[in-house]
Structure 1
């Protein structure tokens, strides 16, 4: 699922660790992306994001590195796991713990590689410890492990599921828009700087169908910010 200083292919790693996906949720249904209106309220207060403590994260093996500059962009990922139909909050938290276990125990990383995680049910969660506090402060970021060459300059968000052949559920899309609106606002990132993992690394991530939606994502985020 991600890279720590350029190690390992995310998709091969996922297949080797579990082969199938895991979970998520918000109980908001499974309709794929339709006529979405960007949530303008998120620009003012920010969406609800569960902290590492809230979803039961393990402690990192060492303190994450803080980078005292604003990130230049947001990178969109998918987990390449199964498109499961458990949209519950409990399932979302379970999935976050599975990702962290994979990254720490299999990859040997200090913590989850991504800064944030978005479930198929639309639940947003902090990924790497201290990323949420950094986002709220708006003046620094935590070094991640989601894309070689971008870990100190881009915020990485994992979207649970595999979007090579299908579009994401509406709930996931809505929470992704809300997250990007808030993150662009906090870090003064132009919506034009919302990119896909494949823009900076040789990978299929974030899937053909989600990648094709990135122009729309930029448009909806820009509309909400304006």
Structure 2
């Protein structure tokens, strides 16, 4: 009787071995998942940026710590209303004057723009908080969340004022780098207003260009006729930079990158 039981057990063990041997390997589901994973989304590398420490921002007048929002869904272009014939070596002094005006005269916590570019194409860190992080600026009333404010150092109200090409190149490099992956700089975006002093009452949706001028959401002539007329060119060139990206920056899909930036990664 015992020998029959042992024989039966041996048969069962043999069957079990055959089933396990012929069954799917444990890593097969992962292989299938990898086969259908989305292609990585690439954005341009971070451009060279002059830090606040390098232009000697007055940290003693900054009132509050930086606040962070989501990755940039849109970019707003501004001008600072400074003169245009400055020596680019004087740009740091001009930036400190802009910061003082924003804090002491406007009552803001810090300089409002996230970035400022001069006529020579130099990019300066604006508002404190880290250039790689989604810092909420004070540049576009009602639409500071999930956006980036880039200001051209100068005045472009007169439509005949030439906009220096290095300045345009710098604006495009920042926009191409800071817009969240998967965003088309030539496209449109829906943003919700947070301030009724904008052109859109608080809580209302606004259909805007991904790269817009300040005037598109607020009652102002900023960034001036000359610079505003360059926005189609800026959008197109920014899109070209993103399409040509070599992948030296982030490779995460848009939503994952947004969560990463919002968490301070």
Verify same fold: TM over 0.5.
yes
Cα RMSD, aligned residues only: 1.6
Shift of 1:177: 1.7
**Aligned pairs (5 A) from 1:43-192:** 44-59=44-59, 60-67=62-69, 69-88=70-89, 91-134=90-133, 141-165=134-158, 166-184=161-179, 188-192=182-186
Question: Aligned to 2:132, what secondary structure does the other structure show?
Answer: helix
SS of the residue corresponding to residue 149 of structure 2 reads strand
1:188: Cα distance to partner? 4.4
Contact residue 113 and residue 137 of structure 2 kept, 8 A: yes
Name which one, 1 or 2, has greater alpha-carbon Rg.
Answer: 2
User: TM-score normalized by structure 2?
Assistant: 0.62
Partner of 2:36: none
Q: Residues 65 and 129 of structure 2 are in contact (CA less than 8 Å); yes or no, is this contact kept in structure 1?
A: no
Partner of 1:205: 222
State the distance in 1 between where 2:171 and 2:85 align. Answer: 18
1:96 is paired with a residue of what secondary structure? helix
Shift of residue 131, structure 1, vs aligned partner:
4.1
Unpaired runs of 5+ residues, structure 1, are 1-42, 135-140
For 2:74 and 2:220, locate their aligned partners in 1 and report how far apart those are by CA, in whole Å.
Answer: 18
Alpha-carbon contact 1:120-1:169 (below 8 Å) kept: yes
Q: For residues 96-138 of structure 1, give each alpha carbon's deviation from its aligned partner in whole angstroms, at most 9, with x where no partner exists.
A: 111111111212221101111111121111110014130xxxx
Name the TM-score, length of structure 1 as normaliser.
Answer: 0.72
Q: Runs (4+) of structure 1 moved beyond 3 Å?
A: 186-189
CA gap 1:187/1:97 in 2 versus in 1, 3 angstroms = farther
The number of residues matched between the two structures is 174
1:71 Cα deviation from its structure 2 partner: 2.2
Q: Deviations over 1:150-197 (max 9, x none)?
A: 11132001101111221311221121122222123x554321211110
Quote the Cα distance in structure 2 between the aligned partners of 1:121 and 1:196.
Answer: 21
Q: Which runs of 5+ in 2 are unaligned?
A: 1-42, 187-209, 244-265
Shift of the 199–215 alpha-carbon distance from structure 1 to 2, 3 Å rule, reads same
